[in-house]
Amino acid sequence: MKRRKFDVKALPAATANAVDERFKAAGPIRGLLNKVFPDHWSFLLGEIALFSFIILLLTGTFLTLFFDPSMTEVIYNGAYAPLRGQAMSHAYATSLDISFAVRGGLIVRQMHHWAALLFLAAIVVHMFRIFFTGAFRKPRELNWIIGLLLFWLGFLEGFAGYSLPDDALSGTGLRIATGIMLSIPIIGTWVTTSLFGGEFPGHVILDRLYIAHVLLVPGILLALITVHVGLVFVQKHTQWPGPGRTNSNVVGERMFPRYAIKQGGFFMLVFAVVAFLGGLFQINPIWLFGPYRAAVVSAGSQPDWYVMFLDGSTRLMPAWELRFSLFGHGYTLPAIFWPTVVLPGILTVLPLIYPFIEARKNRDTSRHNLLNRPRDVPQRTALGMMAVSFYVVLLVSGGNDIIADKFHISLNAMTWAGRIAILVVPPLAYYITHRIALGLQQHDREVLAHGVETGIIKRLPNGAFVEIHQPLAPVDEHGHPAHLDYVGWTVPRKMNRLGALGPAIRGFFRPIERPAPPPPPPALPAKERDKIDA
Amino acid sequence: MSRRPSADVDPEGMTMTTESGGKTAARLRRLVSVAPRKRGKATRRLSAALRMLAALVFAGGLYMAVAPASSAADNPPLSRQAEDGKALFDQNCISCHGSNAQGVDGRGPSLIGVGSASVEFQVTTGRMPAARQEAQVPRKRPFWGGEELDNNAKALGQYIQELGGGPQLPAGTDFASQGDIARGGELFRINCASCHAFSAGGGALSSGKYAPSLKEATDREMYAAMLTGPQNMPVFGDNQLTPQQKTDIIAYVQGMKSDQDPGGWGLGRFGPVTEGLAIFLVGIVALVFATLWIAGKS
C-alpha cells in the first residue's frame, strides 16, 4: 500500500479554491479585504458603539438564561438576607438571583448595564464627530438619519431594560413613562391602556417589555447597524484633507490585514474597559431599591443618563396646564406634555432634516468625501455647540436634586438657574464658539503668511523687539515667503512639528526611537579644554 | 382742677347731711309700714347675700388651699441632674430659647414639651447650639466632646424633661441588634426613602432644606429623630411606627451601612447620576485615549 502524500502547505489554498469553485466568493472577498480605510482616532468612536453592542448581545444572552419577566408574586427566600420573606414579583426575584446566586451573574449584569451606558454615550460622541466635521453631507444623509434612529432605538431599548428587573427604581420610571403617555391628547389613554393591558401596572407589561428588549428592538438595531456599516463600505469612509488626499480617493490602510487586526485589538480594549467597569464599579444596585410598590418612591430617583435630559426638561417646565373643550368634551393638556413629548419630537425632527437645510442654505449639491475642520465652518460648529449646551443644561437639571444636596445649594435655586440657563447659555455658546472658530482660522492664515514662531526674539538697532518667524515656503530675494493656500488641514505651529501629519518623533507614551545624538563639538586644543574643566 | 369737684361736692354733701336725717326716717317708716307685704323678698335677698358670701369665702378658701401648690409647680424642686442641666441651659441655650425654655420670638422655639429625646438628638449631633439661622441646622462637631457630651446632653435633657415633659428615649445604645432587617427594609423604603433616598444617603428638599445622610447617625440618634421629628422631618410617634418597627428600621439602616457593595465601588450609592458621570469620565475618556493610541500605531 502506497502512503498518500499530504501536503500541509497546500491545504489553505486547496480549501479556498474548493470554496471558490462552489460559491464564487473570491471576487467579492478580494474587494472587501482590499478596502482602504483612512486612519484617524476620531473615526474609531463609532466602533466603540458597535463593539458595545456586541458585548450587549453576548452578556444579554447570558442574562436571558436566568431571568424570568413574570409578574407573579413570590416570597423571596434567596441569598440576600435583607429582602428575605418579602413579597415581590418573580422578575425581581430572578434578578436578585442573577446578582447573588448565579455564578458570575453579578459581573455579567453589571457589564451589560455599563455596556448599555457606553453604547449610548459612544453613539452621542460619534454623532458629535459626524456633525462637527460635516460627514453628514451628501451623499451620506441617509446614514446620518439611520444613526439618529439608532440613538432613539437604543434609548427605547435601554429604557425597556431598565424597567425589566421590576425594582422600585424601574417601577418608578415605568410610572413616569405612563404619565408621559397619558399626557398625549386624545390618544394618550388608549395608548397606555393597550400597552399595559388595562391600568398601570397590570400583569402583562413586563412580558411585553421583555420581548421588545430581547428580540424586537435588538433585531431592528442589528438590521439598522448592518445597513449603517454597509453604507460606509458602499459610500466609502470620509477622510481628512491632506497631502495626496482628494475628494475622489481614499488614503489609508487596507482592510486586511492591518485594519482588521487593529479593529480586533480595539474590540479587546473596549471589552476590557467594560469588564473593568463591570467588575470594579457597582451599577444599578437593585437589592437596595427593593421590590416595586406604588407607595415606594425614593429620593434621587433618576433614569439612566441618556433619558436624564427629559427628566431635566420636566423639572424646568413651569406647571402650565391647559384646559379646553373640543366637540363637547373637556380636555386637559398637562404641563408634562411639552417637555416629554413635544421636546423629544423637536429633537428628533430637527437633526433629521438638518443636512437638507444646510445644503439648501448653501445651495450645495456636490458630493463631499473630505471632512471640514470645525473651525472652517463657524456657523455649523456654533449651531452644534448651541445644541450641545442646550442638551447639557437639561442633563444637569435632570440630576439637580443630587447636585443641590451634595453641594449645599437650594433646589429651587438650581431649578431657576436651569430655567435661565436654558435660555441664556445656548446663544452664549453660539457666540463664543463662533468667535473661537474665527480666531483659529485667522491664526492659521497668519502662520501661512508669516511662518512658525521660533521663540527667538531679536532686538533691532532702533530698540524694537521682533520675533523671528520661520517661513513655511521658500522666500524670494526680499525674504518674503511665497504665498501658501490653506488646504483645510492642520497648519504647523511649533518648530518641532513641521510635518503637517504628526509629530516628528514617533511613539505614543514615550519616544520609540531616539533622535540622533548631536554631533560632537569641534575638537578644541588640549589646553583650552583643561581650562573649561577647571 | 382736682380741687373744683371737691369744692362742688362739699356743699352738696353738706346739704345731703342736712336732709339725710329726715329722709332715712321716712324711708324706715315706709319700710316698716309695708313690712308684712315685702318680708319674703327681703329674706330671699338676705339669704342670697349670705350664700354669695359663703361661696366667696369657699372660693377664697379653695384658692388659698390650692395657690401654694400651683406656685410650687412653677418652681419645682429640680433633680440634681436637672439643676446641672439648667445651669448649662442658662449658659448656652438661653439666648435663643429664652428663660425657662419658653422661646424667644424670631430666634428660637419654646422647648416646653419637646422631651429629653429631642434634646439628646439636637445636642449629640452637634446641631444645637446652632451656628446661625438658616434653612436647616446642619450636623456638625458637637459643642462638647466625649463623656462630657453624654453627661451634658443627659443633664440638659433631664432639665427640659422636668420642665415640660415629652418623648423620652429607651435606655441602651444598641437597638440594631434587636431588629428584623427585612421588615425594617420594607418600612424604610415606604416611610424614609422618599426623603433620605434608598441608600440613606440623603436628598434635597425645597428651598435649601434637605434630608441628611444617615451615614454618621447612631442607633439612639435615629430613634430620637423618628420619635421627635427634628426640623423638617415628620414625627413618627409610637402609634405610627411602634418601638419594634423603629428598631427594625434602625437595624436595616445600620446593616445597609455596614454592608460592603458586592458590585465594586458603590459610586456613593447616588444612583444613575454618578453612573452617568462615570461612563463619561472613565469609560469614554479611557476609550478615547485608546483610539488615540491605536490610531497612532502604524
Decide if B181 contacts B188 (C-beta within 8 A): no
Please tell me which of the candidates B197, B259, B286 has its beta carbon nearest to residue A300. B197
Average pLDDT for A57-71? 96
Considering chain A, what percentage of its residues have pLDDT values greater than 70? 94
A34 close contact with B: CB closer than 8 A: no
Write down the pLDDT at residue B19: 47
| Predicted confidence band of residue B22 (pLDDT cuts 50, 70, 90) | low
Minimum distance, in Å, between the CA of residue B266 and any CA atom of chain A? 5
CA distances from B198 to A408, A515, B130 (A): 20, 59, 29
Q: CB-CB: which of B211, B272, B287 is closest to A302?
A: B272
Instruction: Check CB contact of B194 with chain A, cutoff 8 Å.
Output: yes
Cα-based angle A168, A290, A399 (whole degrees, multiple of 5):
50
Alpha helices (H) in A459-508, listed in sequence order = none
A347 touching chain B per CB within 8 A: no
Q: Specify the 3-state DSSP secondary structure of A310.
A: helix
Cα–Cα distance for residue pair A309/A389, rounded to 1 Å: 12
User: A146 falls in which pLDDT band (50, 70, 90)?
Assistant: very high
∠ CA B256-B258-B259, nearest 5°, is 60
**pLDDT above 70 (res A347):** yes
Integer Cα distance of B194 and B198 in angstroms: 8
pLDDT value, residue A419 = 97
- Mean pLDDT for all residues in chain B: 84
Q: Which helix (H) or strand (E) holds A270?
A: helix A260-280
pLDDT of residue A207: 95
Of B31 and A315, the one with more pLDDT:
A315
End-to-end CA distance of chain B: 119
pLDDT of residue A63 exceeding 80, the answer is yes
Q: B163: closest CA among B67, B69, B78, B71?
A: B78
Confidence of residue A454 (pLDDT cuts 50, 70, 90): confident
Interface ipTM > 0.85: yes
CA B220 to CA B171: how far, in whole Å? 9
> Which CATH number applies to A33-240+250-304: 1.20.810.10, 1.10.10.10, 3.40.50.300, 3.90.550.10?
1.20.810.10
Which of the four CATH numbers 3.40.50.10860, 1.10.760.10, 3.40.50.880, 2.60.120.920 does domain B176-288 have? 1.10.760.10
B131 vs A: CB within 8 A: no
A475 forms beta bridges with A481
Chain segment A310-339, per-residue pLDDT in tens: 999 999 999 999 998 888 888 889 999 999
Q: How far apart are CA A206 and CA A165, in angstroms?
A: 9
Q: Does A114 touch chain B (CB under 8 A)?
A: yes
**CA of A306 to nearest chain B CA: how many angstroms apart?**
8
The 10s digit of each residue's pLDDT in B167-206 is: 999 988 899 999 999 999 999 999 999 999 999 999 999 9
Q: Where are the domains of chain A?
A: 33-240+250-304
Distance between CA atoms of residues A307 and A319, nearest Å: 21
Instruction: Average the pLDDT over A437-445 and give the result.
Output: 94
Residue ranges covered by each domain of chain B: 78-168, 176-288
The CATH superfamily of B78-168 is Cytochrome c-like domain (1.10.760.10)
C-alpha cell at A182: 397619558
| pLDDT-derived band at B18, boundaries 50, 70, 90 | very low
Question: Is the Cβ of A122 closer than 8 Å to some Cβ of chain B?
Answer: yes
Mean per-residue pLDDT over chain A, rounded: 91
Look at residue B296 in the predicted model and tell me its pLDDT: 74
> A341 pLDDT band (50/70/90 cuts)?
very high
Give residue A458's pLDDT.
92
What stretches of chain B show up as alpha helix (H) in DSSP?
Answer: 3-74, 80-92, 94-97, 115-124, 146-164, 181-191, 193-196, 219-228, 243-258, 272-278, 285-296
Q: pTM for the full model?
A: 0.85
Share of chain A above pLDDT 90, in %: 71
Chain A residue with minimum CA distance to B197: A299
Phi–psi pair at A509, nearest 5 degrees: -85, -40
Distance of CA A62 to the CA centre of its chain: 25
Contact A288, B200 (CB under 8 A): no
